[in-house]
Amino acid sequence: MIPPAPLCPTGPAEILLPCANLPAALDFFVGRLGFRIETIFPADEPTVASLSGHGLRLRLAPGGGDPGTIRLACAPLGEERRLVAPNGTRIELVDADPPVEVPPLRAEFILTRQADGPGAGEGRAGMLYRDLIPGRLGGRFIASHISIPEGGPVADWVHFHRIRFQMIFCRRGWVRLVYEDQGPPFVLVAGDCVLQPPRIRHRVLESSPGLEVVEIGCPALHETLADHAMALPNPTVAPRRDFEGQRFLRHVAAETPWIAHGTSGFERRQTGMAAATAGLADARVLRPAKARALADRAPDGELTFGFLLEGSAVLEHAGDHALGACDAFVIPPGQAWGLRDASDDLALLEVILPADAA
């Protein structure tokens, strides 16, 4: 069967809304909502009109059918949030720039093993997402193990997120990224990470085959918004720019020394996340040095998240749990936990909110 030829539209698309009383509808859509008339006919007694405004094109014409619903962003948003036009079209007034809503924390111990599944599902831009925090701690946090098996150019676009916190840590391969006000594109390799502060425009350009990253965000449910007007890289370079109290961070593992992790017998590599987020969060990689066991306690905060980048160990919390590469866990606030029987190649990514003083 021969597929139909692609359409080649030559004019603006219109949403058809049934309308039996055009003058009353025009008073509402033009006079109250600020649309403007593009076409209207017949001249002696108009019954059909095309309107434009707020990114929409509407066609009011006689006929039946559902009068539809229009979501209209307003700033500032008053008490009135729902209107009904004379033709029956429902108008939902929404905040043009809504604040980020962070749900209350529902603390729990979480253990996700890669071998236990479920497998990764396809998400935005063809990336495969594996959920590391099922239940999302009440909707407060999301963590994903993301992979791009084939590599090559990524079908991404310039976008940003309405979010409180978001970081990406590269576990395998490399990915080429570009960020607003941060200069030309750069390559993130295994061990590196970035902090994506709220609303920073960015784009994923290209990746190696078998790319793997760990992404952590708060809140779990957040909007991704396209910015079709911005081209990246943009001409401004402002690495210290403030984005809602945070600044962009690119941590390069190869340039960061290992230091002692207190007196634990482990050592850590700091990412600089605490400074970049003004204490909101911290991220570090731990590995054994003189010891093969680690005893710790989750801070009385929001999140203590661990992801085994490499190696194996036994997690001690609510019993003993064998861990391997790509397994993840969350420890409830204030509770003790530890590792034992750590392999020589163990590398643990630990993310803490808020940042502690360790």
Residue 8 domain-assigned (yes or no): no
pLDDT band at 105 (very low <50, low <70, confident <90, very high): very high
Residue 7 domain-assigned (yes or no): no
Indicate the residue among 58, 74, 95 that finishes a domain: 95
CA pair distance 114, 323, nearest whole angstrom: 10
Determine the pLDDT at residue 1.
66
Q: Which domain holds residue 44?
A: 15-95
pTM of the model: 0.87
Determine the pLDDT at residue 12.
87
- Whether 65 and 213 map to the same domain: the answer is no
pLDDT band at 74 (very low <50, low <70, confident <90, very high): confident
3-state secondary structure the chain: CCCCCCCCCCCCCCEEEECCCHHHHHHHHHHHCCCEEEEEECCCCCCEEEEEECCEEEEEECCCCCCCEEEEEECCCCCCCEEECCCCCEEEEEECCCCCCCCCCCCCCEEECHHHCCCCEECHHHCEEEECCCCHHHHCCEEEEEEECCCEECCCCCEEEECCEEEEEEEECEEEEEECCECCCEEEECCCEEECCCCCCEEEEEECCCEEEEEEEECCCCEEEECCCCCCCCCCECCCCCECCECCEEECHHHCCCEECCCCCEEEEECCHHHHCCCCCEEEEEEECCCCCEEEECCCCCEEEEEEEECCEEEECCCEEEECCCCEEECCCCCEEEEECCCCCCEEEEEEECCCCC
Residue 202, burial from CB neighbour count under 10 angstroms (0-12, 13-18, 19+): buried
Indicate the residue among 95, 112, 133 that finishes a domain: 95
- Whether 106 and 89 map to the same domain: the answer is no
Q: Is the pLDDT of residue 124 over 70?
A: no
- Whether 88 and 29 map to the same domain: the answer is yes
CB 162 within 8 Å of CB 222: yes
Here the CATH number for the domain that contains residue 35 is 3.10.180.10
CA pair distance 210, 190, nearest whole angstrom: 12
Rounded to an integer, the average pLDDT of 217-221 is 96
**CA torsion angle 57 59 60 66 (round to 10):** -90
Q: Is the pLDDT of residue 100 over 90?
A: yes
User: Where is pLDDT greater, at 4 or 268?
Assistant: 268
**Please, which residues have CB within 8 angstroms of residue 279's CB and are 6 or more apart in sequence?**
354, 355
Determine the pLDDT at residue 29.
97
CA nearest to 200, candidates 168, 154, 153: 168
Indicate the residue among 74, 95, 116 that finishes a domain: 95
User: Where is pLDDT greater, at 358 or 72?
Assistant: 72
Determine the pLDDT at residue 136.
97
Rounded to an integer, the average pLDDT of 252-268 is 97
User: Where is pLDDT greater, at 1 or 353?
Assistant: 353
- Number of separate domains in the chain: 2
Q: Is the pLDDT of residue 88 over 90?
A: yes
Q: Is the pLDDT of residue 123 over 60?
A: no
Determine the pLDDT at residue 77.
64
pLDDT digits (tens, 9 = 90+) for 129-140: 999 999 999 999
Residue 21 domain-assigned (yes or no): yes
Determine the pLDDT at residue 358.
54
Most distant CA pair in the chain, distance: 91
- Whether 113 and 85 map to the same domain: the answer is no
Determine the pLDDT at residue 6.
80
Determine the pLDDT at residue 10.
81
For the chain, the average pLDDT equals 93
Residue 82 domain-assigned (yes or no): yes
Residue 1 domain-assigned (yes or no): no
Q: Is the pLDDT of residue 127 over 80?
A: no
Which residue in this structure is represented by tokens 């890669």? Answer: 114
Q: Is the pLDDT of residue 61 over 90?
A: yes
3-state secondary structure 258-312: CEECCCCCEEEEECCHHHHCCCCCEEEEEEECCCCCEEEECCCCCEEEEEEEECC
pLDDT digits (tens, 9 = 90+) for 186-206: 999 999 999 999 999 999 999
Residue 4 domain-assigned (yes or no): no
Determine the pLDDT at residue 357.
58
pLDDT band at 11 (very low <50, low <70, confident <90, very high): confident
Residue 3 domain-assigned (yes or no): no
CA pair distance 234, 111, nearest whole angstrom: 41
